[in-house]
Amino acid sequence: MSTRQFKRLAHSLYECKYHVVFCPKYRYKILKNDIEEYLREQIYRLCSQKDGVEVHELNIQEDHVHLFLTIPPKYAVSEIMGFLKGKLALKMFDRFPNLKKRYWGQHFWSRGYCVSTVGLDEEKIRKYVKWQKKKDQDTDSTQGRLFD
């Protein structure tokens, strides 16, 4: 495995990529036109405020958002999503006050979100782990003979 694809923190190498989907309250189809444009700008702006958080892809549908991003291991996914959804709700209500009056009061987003890890190929990892075990066993048997 090459370390070129990994990012660095002081004491770790990592590749932590996630696919996240979240929706407006009641899955209303409101994420279009000016709202979609503003939401897109704010997602990029807010993610750039967190050190190491990087947006790779963003797709905004009328009733949900797909986000593919890197989140360093120093942050929990729930921490980033709480920050993002909370700040976005405040910004959206500020910019589009009619949303607050017309739809949900204080709530812009549905409570949860869907998250899936996107990382190294599972089959490759399985093979590597099995290979590593065999390599360790071979090394142990060779070293065992050295001290007999």
The encoded tokens of residue 25 equal 């309250």
Find where tokens 């070293």 sit: 143
Q: Which of 87, 64, 63, 66 is nearest to 55 (CA)?
A: 66
| Cα separation, 35 vs 62, whole angstroms | 10
| Cα separation, 17 vs 55, whole angstroms | 10
Per the CB < 8 A criterion, the answer to whether 25 and 85 are in contact is no
Catalytic positions are: 128
- 10: CB partners within 8 A, 6+ apart: none
